[in-house]
Amino acid sequence: MFIPIIFLVIIIINYVQSQTELILPPLPYEYNALEPILSEHLMRLHHDKHHQAYTTKANAALKSMFTDETSNNELKDLAKQPIEVILTHLQNLPEKYRLTLRNNGGGYINHKLFFSMLRKPTATATENKPTGPLFEAIENSFGSFDKFKDMFTTSSINLFGSGWIWLFIDAQTKQLSINFTVNQDNPIMFDKDHVVLLGIDLWEHAYYPVYENRRNEYVDNFWRIINWPLVESLYTQGTTKRHDL
């Protein structure tokens, strides 16, 4: 059975199957491709250890929920849905699965998006900018690309603890918005129709092996490795599928 999906965090896939097991996707580039911004050592830890751990723990919870004798047919059917769908129904999950899937299912899709939107670094951040309709939308929403960049950077540096800063299309206002989530939460957990475009991982495991406590350097260098063509495709497909945007 195939289920149409509108959630843009999985744009790199053209279809989504019913599933009872999440697959850790390989990096779309070599482990050393992001050096010197992110080292090969860091990327191996981040992808092979952390992303794998989220995948393994989410799979264990999904399997348990599906095979649990106390689970009704509705819950078992939900356990077979794409993780993006499951995370929009957290309130329907039994408490013993809710937090595990929120943290680890969220960690799975957040990292799947994050790794796909990175690319070989440009020499400077000014060389790496979006183009076309996305650039125009950013300028219209924030006044200029530089103002958007400053707002996103400031929010990232000042976020307390572990979490993410996101650029997304707000389902209610229909405007581009910058906001944060804590831990491994994602904007679709709060509104399934939010269209996620860009996110920066601000957990220490995402930067500490290279930058230690210098988060500001990590954030500044992040602008050199954003895969803007991927972000632009998220925006284009999001606005195409969402005719109200």
Task: Please give the annotated binding residues for Mn(2+), written as ranges.
Answer: 46, 111, 201, 205
Tokens at residue 18, please?
């019913």
Bridge partners of 97, per DSSP, are none
| Cα→Cα distances 2→5, 14, 24, 155, 241, Å | 9, 11, 20, 38, 18
Residues annotated in the binding site, as ranges? 46, 111, 201, 205
Residue with tokens 């092979």: 48
Segments of the chain assigned E as strands: 163-169, 176-182, 195-201
Residue indicated by tokens 């070989």: 120
- Determine contact, residues 55/109, Cβ cutoff 8 Å: no
Give the contacts of 51 (CB within 8 A, at least 6 positions apart). 24, 107, 108, 111, 112, 115
Contact 212, 143 (CB under 8 A): no
